[in-house]
Copies of this chain bind each other. A is one copy, B any other.
Amino acid sequence: MAKLQKSAHADDAPLEYGTDVAPDGASIDQGLLQDFMGMYLRRAYEVAYEDFRRRLGKDAMQPGYFTILTLIVRNPRISQTQIGAASARDKSSVTKALRAMEDAGLIQRLRSGSDRRIHLSVATEEGIAMQKQMEIKAADHVKALHDAIGPDRYEAFLTTMKDMIRTLEETAVAKDAKL
């Protein structure tokens, strides 16, 4: 490869270098990226998130809160530790989400009478209504995914993904234990 001078971006302009042009978009060599699942997992998450967010519109909570609100509606008096475990989020993240939902009047938090460390969450009427409304949008979203994937492949895809998550979670735990 030809020798190149370093371009110190803070000071110099990039160095000129011949007249070749890079290949256009259609002919980019992605090499092993073509099958690099990490990239597709990221992208799949992104496009699905975007789809759900667009369907929810601006009158609903953000997509990420749907999970927590649904957990609370379906499990009145759920604790924050339980919410964290069920949604794979740190307790500090749960606190922040619950704070926002409480401020929005969607939930209320109580203390357990039997163990005063525990904060229980229940949905308000507004929270229940919001959850129902979001669930309708979620159903549309799931239908879009269903159509995109194809009915014949949907179940297998979901099952495979769950298996993958479980296995990698176990691997991670095993590795952490070795440290």
Contacts and interface: CB of A to CB of B under 8 A. Distances in A.
Interface in A125-175: 125, 135, 138-139, 141-142, 144-145, 147-150, 153, 156-158, 160-165, 167-169, 171-172, 175
A142 B37 contact: yes
Interface in A30-89: 30-33, 35-52, 54, 63, 66-67, 70-71, 74-79, 82, 85-88
| Dominant secondary structure of chain A at its interface with chain B | helix
Contacts of A162: 40
Interface in A97-113: 99, 102-103, 105, 108-113
Contacts of A161: 37, 40-41, 44, 157
Contacts of A86: 25, 28, 30
A16 interface: yes
A66 to B, nearest CB: 8
A177 interface: no
Nearest to A4: B108
A158 B33 CA distance: 12
A65 B1 CA distance: 23
